[in-house]
């Protein structure tokens, strides 16, 4: 996991217990966690100030969908991993093809997805 | 006229003495009155013309100043003879000119005259008399005055001229004789009478008188050669009587048989004859007295002696007079030749002498003025140089008459002047004889009558003008048509205005001046000038316009050229006015420049008035005729139309009702109406009729209600109402019925009075039934469509036309009938995102001819989005219509929304379940990783999951709307509550927590309660937990304070367990709150301060 060393991951998750687990898993794998951020506006503001290589995004932030941030990050060429309990058909058409991890997920799954996205980058 | 001039030598030499026959002939031949007087004004000569002129024989040697009976001034006042111009000439010794007088004849006629008195001087320059020439201006005067004739009547016919006294010595002699005889004889009265013999017989003329006023003899009459005085008259002897009435011859003579009444009171009488030496009885001396016996024999002798002396004296006086006359006649002869010369030269008339070969021998100034030749130029030349072509045969005729000694009087002809121009003259030619009476030549007097001719012509013109006006008036009065009016007016214009051409123009309907009648104008000219007008129809009282000379008038070059090419040199525009409005004009055209005189302008205006009036009259007449004709035609048309309508009415298959009274007591129908109602023709169809005439086998309904007679359409129309599209049903007693639709309209006569009504109906029974059937099926369909929020549509593939049912229009929120009916209009409402899908579905259906089915969104005008689902099926082309795709369309928005809601819920559920599982997963990891004691960790995890599940249960109970803080706290603390010691106290306002708050705070309360039970206040019996909270509504924050007392002494934990993590980080992170933990020795205190969206309940 040497390639993960120091790699910064932007984490958006409004459920703190879940965020805690993601954070633990990523740190354990050698990543640096930026966040976690719990609101849409807070995460958009932070995304513009922080440097990171990849983002894991919860879809529903206290009723608000994270799509604006997704669009912005995609436009910046940042790989995005959606972490959600929604199925693909619940998503708007254009987001259905994005990499997605269904909740609940375990640590190794998360790390594998993050790694593959970084590799594809 | 010039004053007397020196006679031409040739003439003077020919004039000898007064007795010269030449002189007399010339003088007598003068056609003008001439007379002469001596220095005192006594008439010494007059010619025949003068006597003719004066209407009397002037008394030579007696009449003074003038030969006339009476003279008047032109104003009619009497001019005394001694003030006449002739008297003035003699007083002042100069010619007097410039007077115009009127000579009154004894018979009362009057002649206007211009006198030319000229003084005569002898060689020494002494005034010897005067000659007067009277120029009769009655012809001229007459012409001039005809129009203003004032008839003046003679004042009195019988006025006698006063006898002029002679200054002869004889009179003195006789007066002396009479006076002395009277005195010497002792007579009271004395008189001398001349003996006179005339048509009345022999009588004495009273000459002188003594002892009595002359008036005493006025009524007496003069002594006549009566039986009494015959001796005196014959000169036989003296008559002497002491009493005249007792004389033996007294009273023997007619008529008085004695003295006339009122005779001087003569009693004594003495009458002595005066006898000349030659034995002629010169007269008699008559003496008388009012007393008898006055005259004695002595008296008689004295008077006889006086008479003898008187006779001698009178004889002597006569001799003196005779010798005086002899001397006078010589002097006069000399004077008269001068008179003649003066007359001739002073004459305005041309006086010319010629010999019998027509050679001119004398030529006066008048002739020079008249003919332009001087005497030197023409004397010795033939008179024929004056005769213009065409008059050559006049001279031989004149000469012929002269040779025969006859005169030519006032022969009017033309002569040629030196300059070639012609002059109108009146010619008088008299033969001139020598001393033996032989005709040796002729004297011609030519008078310029041009002026008179002109006056006559003017007069004739005036008469012609007046006559033309009278004729116009008469013709206009009788004119039956406008053409006759125009003809009459054109004749009158030409005659009255002396023009060769004329026209009449009137404004047409477009206010353009157009020729309506003309004389002598070319088509070209009329076309060229038509429309030209100096006035518009609005002109007020325009004045006539006269162009006296076209070449000098201000006209456009084009117009001038047009007028000139027509040969018009002058023209007049005279406006025609009727009823104060300008309607046109008439025109007078002249071939030469023309000066319009006052009378012409006045006549033009008179004609214009008459013409205008006549045009108006004829137009009014024409309008009346047209109106009458129109009326007749209308009547005929009306009759024809009525018959036609009757026929049509009978023939049409439509039932018609007709009533001719407004009360509708009788209503007729046509054949269709009777057929419809199953009634024989001529039945009364009126329900307003008396009961026994009314139809009885049917009733009329409308709108489901039976109509009273007054509500029926014919009856309503008969009251003046227009009844339109009235639907009624006729229900027959046999149960059948007919539906009718029609109109009823009032009938009015031309005065607008209500005279009945007519109604026409169409039998719509079949249509009605079909309509009702159709309506029923449509109604059912509509119900179905409405119930399913559906609409029907049809798309005709051939015409491209799209039909929407009202229901579909309603679904599209389009007003009924407002859908445009095109495919494009249909597509316009479809949501852009779905349009492609719809088009694809249609294409597929068109390709496969299979049913069409598609769901799509439409966007309404207000932006609302609705879901539609359409089903369609092809119907093949049948007769008249092309292939169609028809179907229905449903609004499925609610279903779609319900579906979306369900999908949302499912997604939400999935999200929450998975989130919860993720949370549980995390709790598990935290519980087991932080607690080395697996068993304890297991128990803690179970308790945490149960607490979480409990909050879920509470949320589910409230359908996730929220849970109260009190409930959350009670639930978590319930296992540790000891009712006996009241170890738990909860205090705060009712506060509802939203689901996220409830779950997080629920977990926080679980950790605090678990911790208190394990290590804090609830681990001992005396321990207590107090929770109180409050809400700051302005800051929107919820503050919760957890405090423990009575437990074991507390110290800060050595490691951070799950509970602390949850409190300090999760609460801060998930709720954005602030948590403070104080590990005081008496017990734990936890203060939670979190944003709180709602207020207290």
What would the pLDDT profile of B963-973 be if each residue is shown by its tens digit?
Answer: 899 999 998 88
Task: For residues B1010 and B973, give the distance between their C-alpha atoms in angstroms, rounded to a whole number.
Answer: 9
**Which of A16, A39, A89, A93 best probes binding to B when mutated, by most B CB atoms within 10 angstroms?**
A16
At B34 the pLDDT is: 84
- Residue A19's pLDDT is 85
CA–CA separation, B69 and B53 (whole Å): 11
Q: Can you list the alpha helix ranges (DSSP code H) found in B196-296?
A: 215-218, 230-234
Q: How far is CA B17 from CA B8, B14, B103, B127, B341, in A?
A: 17, 10, 31, 20, 13
Q: Does the beta-carbon distance from B907 to A18 stay under 8 Å?
A: no
Contacts with B, A 62-81, CB within 8 Å? 62
Any domain includes A112: no
pLDDT at A18: 84
Would residue A113 count as lying in a domain? no
Could you tell me if residue A24 is inside a domain? Answer: yes
Closest CA to B871 of B888, B883, B855: B888
Helix H or strand E encompassing B653 = none
In a domain, B966, yes or no: yes
CATH of the domain at A81: 3.40.50.2300
Mean pLDDT across chain B, nearest whole number?
A: 79
Domain final position from B408, B428, B448: B448
User: Does residue B333 surpass a pLDDT of 60?
Assistant: no
Q: Is the pLDDT of residue B303 over 80?
A: no
Does residue B233 fall inside a structural domain? yes
- Residue B260 has what pLDDT? 64
Is the pLDDT higher at B139 or at B104?
A: B104
Residue B868 three-state SS: strand
Q: Let me know whether B209 and B318 are in one domain.
A: yes
Q: What is the mean pLDDT of residues B432-443?
A: 76
Residue pair B855/B868 in contact by the 8 Å Cβ criterion: yes
Partners of residue B923 in chain A, C-beta under 8 Å: 17
Instruction: Please give the average per-residue pLDDT across B593-603, as a whole number.
Output: 83
Residues with Cβ within 8 Å of residue A69, at least 6 apart in sequence: A12, A40, A43, A44, A47, A57
- Give how far the C-alpha of residue B94 lies from the chain's centroid of Cα atoms, to the nearest Å: 68
| Nearest Cα residue to B923 out of B1044, B992, B991, B1010 | B1010
Higher pLDDT, residue B180 or B7: B180
CA dist B568 and B587 (Å) reads: 12
Q: B568 and B476: one domain?
A: yes
Query: Terminal CA-to-CA distance of chain A, rounded, Å?
Result: 17
Range of the domain at A11: 2-105
pLDDT for B216 equals 61
A14 touches chain B (CB under 8 A): yes
Identify whether B906 is part of a domain.
no
CATH number of domain containing B496: 3.30.450.40
Judgement on whether residues B272 and B379 belong to the same structural domain of the protein: no
CA distance A113 to chain B (A): 17
Count other Cβ atoms within 10 Å, centred on residue B472.
Answer: 26
Same structural domain, B940 and B1044: yes
Residue A111 covered by a domain: no
How does residue B257 score in pLDDT terms, banded at 50, 70 and 90?
A: low
Q: Is residue B510 part of a domain?
A: yes
* B940 and B1062 belong to one structural domain: yes
Per DSSP, helices labelled H in chain A are 16-28, 40-49, 67-75, 107-120
Q: Where are the alpha helices (DSSP H) in B393-522?
A: 394-403, 450-478, 482-496
Of B906, B907, B918, nearest to A15 by CB-CB distance is B918
Q: Is residue B224 part of a domain?
A: yes
**Domains contained in chain A, number:** 1
- Please answer yes or no on whether A19 and B907 come within 8 Å at the CB atom: no
Compare CB distances from A104 to B914, B1061, B1069 and report the shortest one's residue.
Answer: B914
CB atoms within 10 A of CB B312: 14
Report, as an integer, the average pLDDT of B878-882: 65
Q: What is the CATH number of the domain that holds B743?
A: 3.30.450.20
Cβ atoms of B680 and B668 closer than 8 Å: no
Closest approach of A55 to chain B, Cα-based (Å): 19
Per-position DSSP letters for B300-355, written without gaps between them: HHHHHHHHHHHHHHHHHHHHHHHHHHHHHHHHHHHHHHHHHHHHHHH-SSEEEEEE
Q: What pLDDT is stored for residue B149 in this prediction?
A: 32
Question: Is A120 within the bounds of a domain?
Answer: no
Residues B139, B173, single domain; the answer is: no
Confidence of residue B663 (pLDDT cuts 50, 70, 90): confident
Residues of B with Cβ-Cβ distance to A84 under 8 angstroms: 911, 914
Residue A121: inside a domain, yes or no? no
Write out chain A residues lying below 8 Å of B913, CB-based.
85
User: How many alpha carbons fall within 13 Å on the CB side of residue B181?
Assistant: 34
DSSP bridge partners of B375: none
**Confidence label for B259 from pLDDT (cuts 50, 70 and 90):** low
Shared-domain flag, residues B442 and B469: no
Does B3 reside within a domain? Answer: no
Residues B196 and B313 in one domain: yes
Regarding whether B235 and B302 lie in a shared domain, the answer is: yes
> Do the domain assignments include residue A60?
yes
- pLDDT tens, position by position, B1039-1089: 999 998 888 877 777 666 778 878 887 787 778 888 888 888 888 899 999
Q: Estimate to the nearest angstrom the gap between the alpha carbon of B742 and the chain centroid.
A: 52
Contact B286, B223 (CB under 8 A): yes
CA distances from B838 to B567, B834, B850, B853 (A): 92, 6, 15, 9
How far apart are alpha carbons B429 and B406 in whole angstroms?
9
Least confident of B12-16, B248-252, B906-910, B1046-1050: B12-16
Hey, which residues does B72 pair with through a beta bridge? Answer: B78, B102
Do the domain assignments include residue A117?
A: no
More confident residue, B159 or B202: B202
Q: Total domain count for chain B?
A: 7
Q: Are residues B200 and B304 in the same domain?
A: yes
Residue B145 lies in a domain: yes
Categorize the per-residue pLDDT at B12 as very low, low, confident or very high, splitting at 50, 70 and 90: very low
Q: Which of A12, A14, A15, A17 to mutate to test the interface with B (most CBs of B within 10 A)?
A: A17
| Average pLDDT taken over every residue of chain A | 84
The beta strands (E) that lie in B360-438 are given as: 360-363, 408-416, 422-433
Q: Do B910 and A38 touch (CB under 8 A)?
A: no
Q: B31 Cβ partners below 8 Å, 6+ apart? A: B49, B409, B410, B428, B445, B447
What pLDDT sits at residue B1087? 92
Model pLDDT, residue B168: 42
* CA separation, residue B414 to residues B407, B420, B459 (Å): 19, 12, 20
Q: In a 3-state reduction of DSSP, which class is residue B995?
A: helix
Q: Are B67 and B33 in contact (CB under 8 A)?
A: yes
- Give the domain extent around B273: 169-322
User: Could you tell me if B497 and B614 lie in one domain?
Assistant: yes
- Phi first, then psi, for residue B106 (nearest 5°) are -55, -30
Residues of A in contact with B926 (CB under 8 A): 17, 20
Mean pLDDT of A88-111: 82
Res B157: pLDDT = 22
Nearest to B321 by CA among B520, B167, B541, B97: B167
Please report whether residue B641 resides in a domain: no
Q: What is the mean pLDDT of residues B504-525?
A: 90
Domain co-membership, B528 together with B588: yes
Tokens describing residue B820: 């445009």
CB atoms closer than 10 angstroms to residue B568: 23
pLDDT above 80 for B599:
no
The whole-angstrom distance between A74's CA and the closest CA on chain B is 24
């Amino acid at each position: 996991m040497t390639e993960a060393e120091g790699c910064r991951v932007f984490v958006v998750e409004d459920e703190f217990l879940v965020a805690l687990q993601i954070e633990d898993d990523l740190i354990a794998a050698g990543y640096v966690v930026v966040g976690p951020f719990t609101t849409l506006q807070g995460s958009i503001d932070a995304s513009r100030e922080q440097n990171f290589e990849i983002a894991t995004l919860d879809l529903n932030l206290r009723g608000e969908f994270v799509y604006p941030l997704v669009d912005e990050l995609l436009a910046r060429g940042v790989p995005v991993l959606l972490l959600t309990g929604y199925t693909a058909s619940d998503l708007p058409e254009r987001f259905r093809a994005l990499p997605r991890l269904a909740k609940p997920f375990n640590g190794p799954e998360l790390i594998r997805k993050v790694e593959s996205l970084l590799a594809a980058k | 006229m010039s004053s007397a001039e020196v006679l031409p030598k040739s003439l003077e030499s020919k004039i000898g003495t007064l007795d010269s026959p030449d002189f007399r002939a010339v003088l007598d031949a003068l056609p003008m009155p001439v007379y002469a007087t001596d220095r005192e004004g006594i008439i010494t000569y007059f010619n025949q013309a003068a006597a003719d002129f004066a209407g009397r024989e002037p008394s030579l040697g007696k009449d003074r100043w003038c030969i006339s009976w009476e003279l008047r001034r032109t104003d009619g006042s009497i001019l005394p003879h001694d003030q006449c111009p002739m008297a003035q000439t003699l007083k002042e010794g100069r010619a007097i000119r410039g007077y115009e007088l009127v000579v009154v004849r004894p018979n009362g006629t009057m002649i206007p005259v211009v006198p030319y008195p000229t003084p005569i001087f002898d060689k020494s320059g002494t005034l010897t008399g005067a000659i007067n020439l009277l120029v009769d201006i009655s012809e001229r005067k007459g012409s001039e005055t005809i129009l203003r004739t004032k008839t003046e009547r003679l004042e009195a016919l019988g006025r006698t001229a006063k006898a002029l006294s002679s200054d002869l010595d004889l009179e003195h002699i006789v007066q002396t004789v009479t006076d002395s005889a009277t005195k010497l004889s002792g007579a009271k009265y004395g008189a001398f009478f001349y003996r006179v013999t005339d048509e009345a017989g022999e009588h004495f003329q009273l000459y002188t008188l003594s002892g009595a006023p002359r008036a005493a003899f006025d009524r007496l009459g003069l002594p006549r050669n009566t039986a009494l005085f015959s001796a005196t008259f014959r000169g036989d002897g003296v008559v002497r009587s002491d009493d005249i009435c007792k004389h033996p011859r007294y009273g023997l003579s007619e008529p008085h048989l004695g003295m006339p009444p009122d005779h001087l009171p003569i009693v004594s009488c003495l009458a002595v004859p005066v006898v000349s030496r030659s034995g002629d009885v010169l007269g008699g001396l008559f003496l008388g007295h009012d007393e008898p016996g006055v005259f004695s024999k002595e008296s008689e002798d004295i008077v006889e002696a006086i008479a003898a002396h008187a006779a001698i004296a009178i004889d002597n006086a006569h001799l003196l007079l005779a010798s005086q006359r002899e001397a006078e006649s010589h002097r006069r002869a000399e004077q008269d030749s001068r008179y003649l010369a003066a007359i001739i030269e002073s004459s305005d008339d041309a006086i010319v002498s010629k010999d019998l070969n027509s050679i001119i021998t004398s030529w006066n100034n008048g002739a020079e003025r008249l003919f332009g030749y001087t005497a030197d130029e023409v004397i010795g030349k033939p008179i024929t140089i004056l005769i213009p072509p065409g008059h050559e045969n006049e001279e031989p005729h004149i000469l012929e008459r002269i040779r025969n000694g006859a005169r030519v009087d006032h022969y009017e002809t033309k002569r040629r002047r030196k300059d070639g121009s012609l002059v109108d003259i009146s010619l008088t030619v008299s033969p001139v004889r020598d001393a033996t009476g032989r005709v040796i030549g002729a004297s011609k007097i030519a008078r310029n009558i041009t002026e008179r001719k002109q006056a006559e012509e003017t007069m004739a013109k005036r008469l012609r003008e007046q006559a033309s006006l009278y004729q116009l008036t008469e013709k206009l009065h009788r004119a039956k048509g406008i053409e006759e009016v125009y003809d009459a007016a054109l004749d009158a214009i030409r005659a009255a205005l002396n023009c060769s051409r004329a026209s009449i123009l009137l404004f047409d309907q477009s206010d353009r001046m157009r020729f309506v009648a003309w004389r002598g104008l070319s088509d070209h000219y009329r076309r060229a000038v038509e429309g030209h007008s100096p006035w518009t129809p609005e002109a007020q009282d325009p004045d006539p316009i006269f162009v006296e000379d076209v070449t000098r008038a201000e006209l456009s070059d084009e117009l001038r050229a047009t007028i000139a090419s027509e040969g018009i040199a002058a023209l007049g525009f005279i406006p025609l006015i009727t009823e104060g409005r300008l309607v046109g004009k008439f025109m007078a055209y002249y071939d030469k420049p023309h000066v319009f005189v006052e009378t012409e302008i006045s006549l033009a205006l008179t004609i214009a008035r008459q013409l205008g009036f006549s045009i108006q009259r004829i137009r009014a007449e024409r309008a009346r005729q047209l109106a009458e004709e129109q009326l007749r035609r209308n009547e005929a048309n009306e009759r024809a139309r009525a018959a036609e309508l009757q026929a049509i009415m009978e023939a049409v298959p439509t039932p018609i009702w007709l009533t001719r009274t407004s009360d509708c007591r009788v209503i007729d129908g046509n054949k269709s109406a009777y057929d419809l109602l199953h009634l024989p023709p001529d039945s009364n169809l009126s329900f307003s009729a008396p009961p026994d005439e009314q139809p009885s086998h049917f009733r009329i309904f409308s709108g489901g209600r039976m109509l009273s007679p007054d509500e029926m359409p014919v009856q309503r129309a008969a009251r003046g109402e227009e009844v339109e599209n009235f639907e009624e049903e006729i229900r027959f007693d046999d149960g059948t019925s007919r539906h009718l639709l029609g109109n009823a309209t009032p009938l009015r006569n031309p005065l607008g009075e209500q005279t009945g009504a007519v109604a026409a109906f169409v039998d719509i029974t079949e249509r009605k039934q079909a309509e009702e059937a159709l309506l029923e099926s449509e109604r059912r369909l509509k119900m179905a469509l409405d119930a399913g929020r559906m609409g029907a549509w049809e798309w005709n593939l051939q015409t491209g036309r799209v039909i929407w049912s009202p229901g579909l229009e309603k679904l599209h929120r389009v007003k009924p009938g407002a859908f445009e009916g095109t495919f494009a209009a249909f597509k316009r409402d479809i949501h852009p995102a779905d349009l492609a899908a719809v088009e694809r579905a249609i294409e597929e259906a068109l390709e496969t001819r299979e049913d069409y089915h598609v769901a799509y969104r439409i966007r309404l005008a207000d932006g609302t989005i609705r879901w539609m689902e359409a089903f369609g099926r092809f119907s093949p082309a049948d007769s008249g219509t092309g292939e169609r795709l028809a179907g229905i369309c449903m609004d499925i928005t609610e279903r779609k929304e319900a579906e979306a809601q369900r999908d949302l819920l499912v997604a939400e559920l999935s999200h929450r379940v998975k989130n919860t599982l993720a949370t549980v997963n995390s709790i598990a990891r935290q519980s087991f990783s932080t607690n080395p004691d697996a068993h304890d960790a297991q128990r803690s995890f179970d308790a945490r999951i149960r607490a979480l599940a409990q909050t879920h249960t509470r949320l589910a109970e409230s359908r996730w709307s929220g849970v109260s803080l009190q409930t959350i706290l009670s639930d978590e603390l319930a296992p540790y509550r000891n009712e006996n010691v009241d170890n738990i106290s909860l205090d705060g306002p009712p506060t509802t927590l939203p689901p996220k708050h409830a779950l997080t705070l629920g977990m926080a309360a679980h950790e605090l309660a678990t911790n208190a039970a394990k290590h804090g206040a609830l681990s001992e019996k005396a321990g207590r937990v107090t929770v109180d909270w409050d809400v700051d509504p302005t800051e929107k924050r919820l503050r919760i304070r957890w405090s423990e007392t009575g437990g074991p002494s507390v110290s800060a934990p050595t490691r951070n367990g799950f509970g602390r993590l949850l409190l300090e980080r999760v609460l801060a992170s998930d709720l954005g709150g602030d948590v403070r933990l104080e590990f005081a020795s008496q017990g734990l205190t936890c203060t939670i301060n979190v944003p709180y969206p709602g207020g207290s309940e």
